[in-house]
Amino acid sequence: MGVCSKLAFTRYVRSGRKPEPDPRLWQGDARFGRVPVRVYCPRAPSAGLRPGAIFFHGGGWVYCSIDSHEKICRYIARESGSVVVSVGYRLAPEHKYPAAYEDCLNATIHFMNNVEYYGVDPARIITCGDSAGGNLAAAVSQTLAGRSDLPKLRAQILIYPGLQVLDFNLPSYQQNRGVPLLLRERAAFFALQYLNGDASNVEEVLEGSHIPPDMRLKYRKWVSPDNIPEKFKVRGYKPHKPHEFKAEVYETVKRLCEPSLCPLLAEDAVVHQLPESFILTCEYDVLRDDGLLYKKRLEDNGVPVTWYHLEDGFHGVISLFDYYGFRFSAGKRGLDSVVKFIKGL
């Protein structure tokens, strides 16, 4: 009808309606430098300093906002007794990689440098995110792992994160290729939109033509179906042979392999320094195996990992724990597992 673009309309629909104020929470909008944030703090008195969780919303780096994840952040703050900071990072394709990553990193550093203002314990700062936000939380955690001029992160919480773009034919991608809310093709589409705002090479990326053979061999120790437990292959898996390498496609998308976009490819020296981690995966999710592979990498490097797997979960289910009349018990269980982890820190 020419009223607005498809992108603008979808963003509007996904933003949701802002719920009524919660009398149990204080919340307010602010800016950490140039990055908009919303801060949630329980009104109930605390015996001491609180944990502080900086939250990055999902949405494929293209959709969603602070408003779309309002209920999730309120729930975490209220039930865990922590201060939650939700970050409104810039979205693709208008703002290409590394804009979202840089916004999340800068907001986290600002928070770390000002935790006393929010009554947060500097020894209990957590990065947290779902889907693309889980990717951003992992990338930020890696960047901060070696910083001696900032408080050390206490933990990272990765909720069905997308962590690699080398292989879109892992068992979970094959089994769940047509399962809502994230289809296999859309996972690659979103990554390319974030990278350079151009998804014209999505078919080549899906079939593996975008990775040079030597690079694929180098990273096979970390990104391989051989590292996925056999019980996750029983629903069906057929080994995939990548299509012929296309150098011109690789030149267009080669930044996909940078660890700040593809955290699963970080070197062991970085992974070894990461904080205690919580990873949530869903059985019916194309990104399930990304979480499983990262869990293995963390454990292989001596990082304590709490893993929570929703056997009846699907991608995005956390957002549907209480969604305007729709309530999925798996989403509530997943969110409660996050709260339990925070309370145990």
Instruction: Name the residues annotated as catalytic.
Output: 131, 285, 315
**Distance between CA atoms of 129 and 263, rounded to whole angstroms?**
14
CB of 287 closer than 8 Å to CB of 160: yes
How many residues would you count in the chain? Answer: 345
Closest CA to 141 of 275, 33, 32: 275
**Distance between CA atoms of 128 and 101, rounded to whole angstroms?**
13
Q: 298: buried, middle or exposed (CB in 10 Å: 19+, 13-18, 0-12)?
A: buried
Phi-psi region of 52 (alpha: psi -120 to 50; beta: other; left: phi over 0): beta
Calculate the CA dihedral of residues 135, 319, 31, 107 and round it to 10 degrees: -20
**Distance between CA atoms of 167 and 220, rounded to whole angstroms?**
10
The one-letter code for the residue type at 125 is: I
Structure tokens at 184: 């296999």
Residue labelled with tokens 């995005």: 316
Closest CA to 309 of 187, 143, 213, 172: 172
Query: By three-state DSSP, how is residue 79 classified?
Result: helix
CB of 61 closer than 8 Å to CB of 161: no
Residue labelled with tokens 């779902």: 130
Phi, psi of 100 (to 5 degrees): -60, -45
All residues at 6 or more sequence positions from 46 whose CB lies less than 8 Å from its CB, including other chains: 81, 119
Count of beta carbons in the 10 Å neighbourhood of residue 295: 20
